[in-house]
Structure formats: structure tokens, C-alpha cells
Amino acid sequence: MKVIDHIKQAKDTLVSFEILPPLKGKTISSIYDHLDPLMAFKPSFINVTYHRSETMFKKKADGTFEKVEVRKRPGTVGICAAIMNHYQVDAVPHLICGGFAKRETEDALIDLHFLGVDNVLVLRGDAAKNEASFEPEPDGHQYAIDLLKQVANLNHGIYIEEDIKNGGKTNFCIGVAGYPEKHFEAPNLDTDRMYLKAKVDAGAEYITTQMFFDNQKYFDFVKTCRDQGINVPIIPGLKPITNKKQLSMLPKVFHVDLPTDLSDAILKCKNDAEVEQVGTEWLLQQSRELKKAGVPVLHYYTLGKPKVIENVVRQIF
């Protein structure tokens, strides 16, 4: 079932989770071990992130280096199919522009359609680790909206292969990313929202936000989106803080601010067990307030911390 239909049919706030594919070498049981405790909360859908390959230099016996492309976390499509089959719950694969040519994207979409997956979250992806800024593949997409248009075309039976006439139509519900604190490359919030509106006008049916730690930023974002004519559901993305390193890592990697009350409380902690307590309580308060405000879904980035999410969700749902 499509994410948008889950939201339309819901009488109350729904819950959903997001997971990363395991590192190459681990099996599907690591996904089940991670998800099993969370399934008691009957998530409406589970997102599976996508990770592009990285360029690495491997030292050879003669001392020279060989350039190799390594995908550390493959398997998004397969994991989605496994989740749907194992738990009978909808899966939402993330699809990115980075590292993909349009034809590869088309093949991935065909695979997803054959597997009965009817949701995708389309994203641009970040720059490769060896690039200063995002570079599309020679025959790839520059922005998420370009990838979105490819999915929307396939929903109309329009394939990259121009000689396919009367092609079978896919039926993907398309979600996109939104940034309550602005995407880090955007010159300002207004411009960022203008591009977000373009994604919605091109067919995005809902928005999932980047994590935030101050609910007011989400409420302000929703209001300005509505003022600008963006009327699709806006799903808040939530992440727990569980260690002190995140005080500098989260702003650096995700370009988000931590409220002073939260950073002060974390700084006072003697160890990461205490940080986890503070982070859990903060996430609980955020979740309570958002649910009270009637958000469509509480979407939790579980990212290796299912226990914390379990503790919070148990008190909310």
C-alpha cells in the first residue's frame, strides 16, 4: 500500500521506521534482529536508505595503489522485498541520483515494481567522498526533481528506451526530502522551499523531513510551506542522541542545530549512558508534542539504536 494511502486512511498519527542496509558481509538476519522488537508497534512502513559506492585506493603487493569502487552497504532493493515478505509491512526504498545512470535507475524501478514495492523516496544524494560538490553520473540526474520526473514518467508508461511503445505503467507513490533548517547548499530557506514546491508540483505526494531537535523549526517549516502552497503531508523525521560525539557530528554531517537546553544537558553528562538518557527523554518530549499537534506520521531514524526508539515509541503509541 502507498504511504499516501496509509496517511489518508489513518485516524491518528502513524509510526514508521528507517533503517540502513547492513555492512556488506552481514546477512538479512541482522535486519530482522534490528526490526523484530520494533514490529510490535505496527509501523505503517519502513524506509531503507540507499548508499552509493565509494572510491577507495587498495595497496597492491608492489606498493602501488589500485583504484576500486566499493559499495559498503548494498542491498536496498532486496531488503525491501525481504521486509515486505517477512513482516507483511510496506517498504519504502530510497533512490538517489548520485552514482546512478538513468538506465540503471529504470532497471531498479522495474525490479521494485516486479517485487510489488509501490513506494519510493527520491533524493539527490550527497557528493561522493572524493568530490568537493555533488557531481551527477555522465548519464545521471543532477537534482532529485529530475529523478522524480523519471519515476513519474514510468508511472505513465514512459521508458528511457524510446522504442518501448505502450509500456507497462508502474504505480509508485513518490516522497521527497525537506529541510526545516534549510538544505546546506541552498542560499536561504525561501529558495530551498521554492525547489521543494517544484518537487511537489512535479508529483511528490508527501515530504519527509531531515531530523530536527527543536519542534518549533518543524512547525515554522510546515507553516511557511503551507503559505507557499505546498499542501502535501509533511512527515517529521526524528533521531535520538545517544553519545557526546554527536554534539559536533550532527551539525557537521546533517547541518542541523541542537537547542542550547539539549546541548547543555549533554555537556553535563559523565558518560554516554547518561547522554542516552537525556537523548531518550528529549526524543520522548519531541514525539509527545508532535503527536499532540496531529502530525501524520512520526518517522524514526533507527540507525543502529532500535532500543532507544523502542523505549520512546512504547510510551507514545
The sign one gets for the Cα dihedral 40, 15, 206, 128 is negative
In degrees, rounded to 5, the angle at the alpha carbon of residue 184 between the alpha carbons of residues 210 and 56 is: 90
Question: Using CB under 6 A, which of 237, 240, 279, 296 touches ligand FAD?
Answer: 237
Burial class (CB in 10 A: 0-12, 13-18, 19+), 78: middle
User: According to the binding rule CB under 6 A, does residue 215 interact with ligand FAD?
Assistant: no
**Minimum gap (Å) between residue 123 Cβ and ligand FAD:** 4
- List the one residue out of 47, 14, 87 whose CA is nearest residue 316: 14
Applying CB under 6 A, which of residues 19, 80, 96, 258 lies at the interface with ligand FAD? 96
Q: Does 296 bind ligand FAD (CB under 6 A)?
A: no
Q: Which stretch binds ligand FAD (CB under 6 A): 61-69, 185-193, 259-267, 308-316?
A: 185-193
Q: Verify binding: residue 197, ligand FAD, rule CB under 6 A.
A: no
Is 120 a residue that touches ligand FAD (CB under 6 A)?
Answer: no
Q: Applying CB under 6 A, does 210 fall inside the site for ligand FAD?
A: yes
- Pull the grid cell for residue 130: 572524493
Kindly state the smallest distance separating residue 63's Cβ from ligand FAD, in Å.
34
User: Count of residues binding ligand FAD (CB under 6 A)?
Assistant: 20
Among 15, 91, 145, 284, interactor with ligand FAD by CB under 6 A: 145
Q: Which of the stretches 5-13, 24-32, 178-186, 302-310 binds ligand FAD when contact is defined by CB under 6 A? A: 178-186
Query: Which residues on neighbouring strands pair with residue 207, listed in sequence order?
Result: 176, 234
> What minimum distance in Å lies between the beta carbon of 310 and ligand FAD?
21
Length of the chain equals 317
- Which residues, 6+ apart, have CB-to-CB distance to 171 below 8 Å? 113, 118, 155
List the one residue out of 160, 159, 177, 179 whose CA is nearest residue 168.
Answer: 159
Spatial CB neighbours of 140, under 8 Å, sequence gap ≥ 6: 97, 98, 99, 100, 101, 102, 105
- Which of 3, 79, 123, 298 contacts ligand FAD by CB under 6 A? 123
Question: Helices marked H in 258-305 — which ranges?
Answer: 260-267, 272-292
Residue 257 DSSP symbol: -
C-alpha cell at 283: 526524543
For CA atoms 299, 302, 307, 308, give the dihedral sign: negative
Enter the DSSP assignment of 263: H
Cα–Cα distance measured from residue 85 to residue 5, given in angstroms and rounded to the nearest whole number: 20
> Which stretches of 75-160 are assigned E, i.e. beta strand?
90-96, 119-123
Among 32, 195, 219, 317, binds ligand FAD (CB under 6 A): 195
94 binds ligand FAD (CB under 6 A): yes
214 binds ligand FAD (CB under 6 A): no
Binding segment toward ligand FAD, per CB under 6 A, in 60-68, 137-145, 213-221, 285-293: 137-145
Would you count residue 177 as binding ligand FAD (CB under 6 A)?
A: yes
- Tell me how far, at minimum, the Cβ of 166 lies from ligand FAD, in Å: 31
Pick the piece of the chain touching ligand FAD (CB under 6 A) from 163-171, 183-191, 240-248, 262-270. Answer: 183-191
Residue 185 near ligand FAD by CB under 6 A: yes
- Identify residues 238-257 at the interface with ligand FAD (CB under 6 A): none
> Which positions touch ligand FAD (CB under 6 A)?
49-50, 94, 96, 123-126, 143-145, 177, 183, 185-186, 192, 195, 208, 210, 237
